Amino acid sequence: MAISGDDYLVQRGKQIAQKKRIVTYIGLVSFGGSMLFGGVNTIKQAWEKPQQPIVQSAETELQKQVKGYELVLQREPNNQVALEKLSIIRLQSGDTKGAIALMERLVKLHPDRQDYQTVLANMKKGMGESDRP
């Protein structure tokens, strides 16, 4: 019994469609299994290890930064970055006198930096205005 060309193409098309369905089902089962496995592992980890509070107060973080910059300045008293950052933190925390002292050190170390001189002048100006009744 000979198969005609049209019958062969129809039969071959059905075989290809069947193989596509099989591959699609295997892919869906694999994807679903991996999603289920990942979800189960995530839930298991969350169940075994309760979450610790991650939020820290801003003051605690600032205190850590202050201590870090002070340690750097103990090792390197003329560290420009540490002096800048520490003066900014002190100014933000309300320690204007401490910030001015650090900026004066920066101006002495780098007399060519006009921005340091300007910031120092503004700090002193602000300090003078806050002292007035």
Q: pTM here?
A: 0.53
Tokens of 124: 């002193």
List average pLDDT for each run of 10 residues in the chain, which is 133 residues long: 76 94 94 89 78 64 87 90 89 86 90 89 76 46
pLDDT at 132: 44
pLDDT at 7: 87
pLDDT at 133: 45
Identify the CA nearest to 105 among candidates 67, 62, 68, 76: 76
pLDDT at 52: 61
pLDDT at 28: 93
DSSP H or E stretch at residue 94: none
Question: Environment class of residue 32 by beta-carbon count within 10 Å: exposed (0-12), middle (13-18) or buried (19+)?
Answer: exposed
DSSP H or E stretch at residue 34: helix 5-48
Question: Environment class of residue 90 by beta-carbon count within 10 Å: exposed (0-12), middle (13-18) or buried (19+)?
Answer: buried
Q: Which one-letter DSSP state was computed for residue 2?
A: P
